[in-house]
Amino acid sequence: MQYKIYRRREKLEFTVPKVTAVLVTDDTLKVDLSDGRAISVPLAWFPRLIEANKEERSNWKLIGDGFGIHWIKIDEDISVISLLTGKPSGESPNSLKKWLKERKELKSK
């Protein structure tokens, strides 16, 4: 995926690498990229991953031709671009609250 950014007569071009591996620990999301870089970000950036158990955290698949990650059971999507630009989850507090409530109700059944 190619990106072009124009800023005050300056043109920046870069290619976004694809995801090659994903590891979720108790406090970190680590993503290996096709250009050899590894990005580690605090798990606190992604509340659904914090709430997920070990099985849910390991149940992911690549989306967008490898430019994103989707966690099936917790419905979390994270793009390479958001990781490269340091952007945490954009989920609203109300949305997260609703998801947590639904999750609690499902677990109690």
Per-residue pLDDT tens over the stretch 49-100: 999 999 999 999 999 999 999 999 999 999 999 999 999 999 999 999 999 9
CATH number at residue 93: 3.30.2020.40
pLDDT confidence band for 14 (50 / 70 / 90)? confident
Number of domains in the chain: 1
Structural domain including 102 reads 19-108
Structure tokens, 16: 């976004």
Question: CA–CA distance from 28 to each of 25, 36, 108 (Å)?
Answer: 5, 19, 28
Is residue 87, in this structure, part of any structural domain at all?
yes
Is residue 66, in this structure, part of any structural domain at all?
yes
Write out pLDDT tens, residues 59-73. 999 999 999 999 999
- Decide: helix, strand or coil at residue 3: strand
Write b or e for each residue in 10-41: b if 16 or more Cβ atoms lie within 10 A of its Cβ, otherwise e. Answer: eeeeeebbbbeebebeeeebebbbeeeeeeeb
